[in-house]
Chain A
Amino acid sequence: MDFTAFLNDIRHSSDYRDQIVYIHEVAASDARHAELSLTEPLLRMLAARGIGQLYSHQVLAISAAREGADVLVATGTASGKSLCFQIPILERLLSEPTATALLLFPTKALSQDQFQGLRAALDAATLPEVLAGVYDGDTPSSTRRKLRDGANLILTNPDMLHAGILPRHARWASFLSRLRLVVLDELHVYSGIFGSNMANVLRRLARLCAHYGSRLQYLACSATVGNPRELARALTGREVTLVDDDGSPHGKRTYVFWNPPRERARTWRGRRSANVEAHELMALLITKGVRTITFSKAKMTAEIIHRYVSERLQQTAPHLLSALSPYRGGYLPEERREIERKLFSGELLGVSSTKALELGINIGGLDASILVGYPGTLAGFFQQAGRAGRATDDALVVLVGLDTPVNQYVMSHPEYLFDRPVEEAALDADNPFVVTGHLRCAAHELALPDAEVARFGPHALTALEVLEKNLKVRRIDGRWYHAASELPQTEVSLRSYSDANVVIEDVDGGAIIGELDKFDASPLLYPGAIYLHAGDTWLVLTLDLERNIARVKRVEVDYYTQPLGGTDIHHIDRCLREKPFGTGRAHWGEVTAVFHNWGYEKVRFYELDAISRHAVDLPTFLLETMAVWIVPSEALMERVRAAGLDAFNGLRGVGYAARMLLPLFITCDTLDFSHTVGSINSPWNALFIYERYPRGLGFTEKAYEHLHKLLPAVLTAIKACPCAEGCPCCTGKPLRGELVWNPERGEAAIPNKAAAIMILEGLLGDGSNLEAADTMALTDSTEAERLRLDADLRRRLERMREPQVVHPIQPRVETAPAQVEQTETLPEPDVARRGDRRRDFGRELRKRIVQRLEAEPLPPNLPPPGMKTGAGVLPPTAFPGKPVSPVELGDSLAARARRLKKERGE
């Protein structure tokens, strides 16, 4: 449809005037085709799909693959990347019918989706004898055996390869010995910890293939990333042929930057809610028949927007209600498949989703994509935006700005999104912590000769030596053997999340309505919480963290719940790097954070008014992670105090602003971090910025290295903010009335802007000492590094013996130390003496009273004026009715028993 008219209407409507702050148009581009000679079955396959000619990038990729090169295709969404590996696979199967290929997709859903496409391609090319199948956790064991023994094409995910296929490689010997092609789809996902693990899984795979005598060729696909070649090299260890000149056609794409209007004069929460704006836009587009997808950042937001849109359409266009659906992680796989299928077939007009739908599941093209808030990275932005746009049709992308620093920065600097290279994916395949786990796995799979140790990076030897000390591996005759009884693969998780999922069970009927990661469960599923699922409200009755079950009951309420609580640094475990920074010092190292959800707030839908606040009793979670911390000089703190400003809250303001601006410097999300001031073993004024993932993803070390860029930018941003005393767009939101903050919601800072500016200016000084070298770095000498690795690995290995879940601390009243303190400071209580003194005191008091009475006697004991006395008051016996004996009035049980006996004549 033509969105120009639609946008013009909006611009001229009185409701929405001035809300479009920027429009960016990308002109349509024509397809560029190229010729490629193909064999008869492949031509049949293309014809069956209605493809006449291949695009230029597909031809380039296929030709390179034919020559045996490792290929990486990095082009836009919906540019036909799947064909770039499907055709080489089919060609290989035609020329070598016994060949096998392994296709790796980051999620189960993707492998299912790709399997459908591949099966269709195989059938169209009349290759029915080729056995292909999805091999993952959902595959029944009978099918598993069939696939293992006879399949040519296996579609699976990295986790299954790591824990299911590689440890049982002997059973896969036949498959592995014929393995020729490895397909890596969505390569850009393999960044951070997942990528570092993936690189090591591929190292192990390559090792086993060499053992079984096969040589691999990699075919990879990726969305746009800043450093595709480097990413592929880091993952596969090979130089790849990069194909990134997109030859597919695109329709005109209109990017609209939509900033909710300011409703109130105040700067904090002054703008209308982005959810409200987004749902109005979505409802408007859907009633016009535009197929729309909305991306929100949180699962909760996705559900809320779905609910709002449904309720709006209920009034205006009830016939469209069935064409709406929410989509997010936590739904059952079947439900998700169903929604994907309906989207693809066009049954659904509107989907409110989290970024769970961002990955390349084929849902067909939609017309419009609404992004509630900037996704945090450019790659994510273009990925979500790319969901809109079918072939050469026009597409509309609306970015609704949230009331946060990054979003408002993007709203005021739209060129930031279009004039900048996409962020680079970062991974560290040689990270000693990651490598350690994989070395155990590798040694278990096949004894590791000394010559092969270097395959796993420069730290591998150290890690092996530490492992040997911990009795996990053993070196005999120049080969490293696994020397423990457990399966190491089960102890190494690729995604660094806890594996334990919390199952959500409906108490009425016992149906399982969903599953959530344990880390997500604590802020969403606590007794009393309202859990939103498919737009319905469910009341959480119990959360059993031992058995990982949450019981919920369907209720109809007009509110949702917001957890209260937050995280704080408890202590510093170890400082790993340190340097002077400006007039203060900067550090990077390991810390332990605690996370505690102590209550929740009921918030009414739409009005967002807090109704009431309740306490919950949940265990405290420990989080061992990495942090960067800055300690400004005490002299500076003194100056801030002398100026009459609150230094502590100024620091919090700096932390908030720094955390908010970090995503502009490194590939990360604001929610990857928290900030806090002080801990039990740091100076009171240490400003911590720490990662919210166990053991961190390397973001804070990058932040440590980029401090000289980050903090001056923070100072500029705070100064440039038009507010008077600080606002959510610079130093943070006002402090709530309680002592525990929720930094995730930015509540941890009093907007003490003046103090923040003074601290920053003082800290940065004249800007000369910002890039000093480390004065202390445990990575300096090889010996120091060995010691550090040794200690850390030891700690990790010891922890591995315990269950992998975070251990809740049972809050317990510590009585023993308090008693010890008392005996040290107080004299023994003298009981006898205390009795004497009480007696003395009583005697003394009586003596004084007598003396006083002798001096001035008391007045006669008269009743107060107005009180009836004497004849006016009747005795109890004077009341009419049964005569009451004095004994009966107030007699004791014994007296009553005696009386009863007497009455009975006993």
Chain B
Amino acid sequence: MDLETTGLAHSPLFLIGAMVWDGGDFVIRQYLARHYGEEAAVTALFLDLACEKRLFVSFNGKSFDLPYVRTRAAACGIPCALDAAHLDLLHECRRAWKGHLPNCKLQTLEQHICGRPPRVGDIPGAEIPEAYHAYVRTGHSGQMAQIIRHNLMDLVTLAELLVKLPAE
């Protein structure tokens, strides 16, 4: 799973991307709030999906994504009963490659471990909130497509990392 939010901590979230194993293949589902009012629906749909699963995989999700979803669910008044096991790839990657790489950011790992070229035309994380506010205001989907793609690439990298991690 991977989140995009509308600002600093305690601001609403607007995009939750999830990649699920549906028995035969990986399927990506992205829940996008078209405006601020749809946050509750996005969160609820994601939680419905998440409650069926037994294992979570995330990047820094233990300290960011999951607590964030929990607080937003609390703020929206949605019951949140997640009890799946949680594998946080940030910690796994640090254990495996710390010292070998300049840092353990997702995009660094993507280049060095997955061997993909640097992303072209990707939107920097810091610009995402403003871009989303602009999208809600104007309805122009230009930058929004970039954000959704950014989220998607993060998810793909996540899956790839899971495979590339050395077996323990």
Contact = CB atoms under 8 A, between A and B. Distances in A.
Interface of A: 167-171, 173, 211, 444, 446-447, 471, 474, 476-477, 479, 481-487
B137 A485 contact: no
Contact of A485 (B6, B75, B136): B6
Given A168-B9, A483-B36, 10 more contacts: A173-B75, A444-B10, A476-B37, A479-B37, A481-B36, A482-B12, A483-B133, A485-B6, A485-B7, A486-B8
Given A211-B77, A476-B35, A485 B133 contact: yes
Interface in B66-95: 70-72, 74-75, 77
B7 A487 contact: yes
Interface string B109-146: 00000000000000000000110010011000000000
A800 to B, nearest CB: 16
Nearest to B132: A485
Contacts of B36: 447, 474, 476, 481-483
B71 A171 contact: yes
Nearest to A166: B10
B41 to A, nearest CB: 12
A471 B136 CA distance: 11
B71 A170 contact: yes
Contacts of A168: 9-10, 71
B11 interface: yes
A447 B75 CA distance: 10
B60 to A, nearest CB: 19
Nearest to B127: A485
Contacts of B7: 484-487
A483 B10 contact: no
A168 B6 CA distance: 15
Contacts of B136: 474, 476, 483
Interface string B1-19: 0000011111110000000
Nearest to B126: A485
B8 A170 contact: no
Contacts, number: 59
6 contacts: A173-B74, A173-B75, A476-B36, A483-B36, A485-B7, A485-B129
Given A171-B71, A211-B77, A481 B37 contact: yes
A170 B37 contact: no
Contacts of B74: 170-171, 173
A610 B7 CA distance: 57
Interface string B126-168: 0001100100110000000000000000000000000000000
Given A168-B10, A447-B37, A476-B37, A485 B130 contact: yes
A691 to B, nearest CB: 34
Nearest to A481: B36
A484 B35 CA distance: 13
Contacts of A173: 74-75
A246 to B, nearest CB: 44
Interface string B24-56: 000000000001110000000000000000000
Given A474-B36, A476-B35, A485 B72 contact: no
B133 A484 contact: yes
Contacts of A484: 7, 133
A479 B76 CA distance: 14
Contact of B35 (A169, A446, A481, A482): A481
Interface of B: 6-12, 35-37, 70-72, 74-75, 77, 129-130, 133, 136-137
A486 B130 CA distance: 10
Contacts of B130: 485
A431 B7 CA distance: 28
A471 B10 contact: no
Contacts of B137: 471, 474, 483
Contact of A169 (B37, B75, B133): B75
The 9 A-B pairs at the shortest CB distance, nearest first, are namely A481-B36, A170-B71, A485-B129, A485-B7, A170-B75, A170-B74, A173-B74, A476-B35, A476-B37
Nearest to A172: B74
Contacts of B75: 169-170, 173, 446
A444 B8 CA distance: 11
Contacts of B12: 481-482
A556 to B, nearest CB: 50
A173 B80 CA distance: 13
Given A169-B75, A170-B72, A471 B133 contact: yes
A6 B81 CA distance: 74
Nearest to B35: A476
B162 to A, nearest CB: 30
A619 B77 CA distance: 51
B32 to A, nearest CB: 15
B85 to A, nearest CB: 23
A709 to B, nearest CB: 50
Interface centre among B70, B75, B130 (most CB of A within 10 A): B75
Contacts of A171: 71, 74
B138 to A, nearest CB: 11
A169 B74 CA distance: 9
Given A447-B36, A471-B133, A482 B71 contact: no
A211 to B, nearest CB: 7
B37 A482 contact: no
A479 B71 CA distance: 21
A761 to B, nearest CB: 61
A326 to B, nearest CB: 42
A756 to B, nearest CB: 57
A485 B133 CA distance: 8
Contacts of A477: 37
A487 B37 contact: no
B25 to A, nearest CB: 35
B62 to A, nearest CB: 15
B100 to A, nearest CB: 32
A173 B75 CA distance: 8
Contacts of B9: 168
Interface centre among A211, A481, A487 (most CB of B within 10 A): A481
A477 B137 CA distance: 14
Contacts of A486: 7-8
Contacts of B129: 485
B35 A170 contact: no
Contacts of B6: 485
Contacts of A447: 36-37
A447 B11 CA distance: 11
Contacts of A476: 35-37, 136
A485 B8 contact: yes
Contact of B11 (A169, A471, A474, A482): A482
A487 B10 contact: yes
Contacts of B133: 471, 483-485
A498 B11 CA distance: 26
Interface centre among B70, B133, B137 (most CB of A within 10 A): B133
Contacts of B10: 167-168, 170, 444, 487
B77 A487 contact: no
A169 B71 CA distance: 9
B37 A485 contact: no
Contacts of A483: 36, 133, 136-137
A418 B35 CA distance: 62
Contacts of B37: 447, 476-477, 479, 481
Interface centre among A167, A171, A471, A485 (most CB of B within 10 A): A485
A479 B133 CA distance: 16
A484 B137 CA distance: 11
A173 B72 CA distance: 11
Nearest to A489: B10
B35 to A, nearest CB: 5
Contacts of A481: 12, 35-37
A167 B8 CA distance: 11
A385 B93 CA distance: 67
A482 B10 CA distance: 12
A171 B35 CA distance: 24
Nearest to B71: A170
A762 B122 CA distance: 75
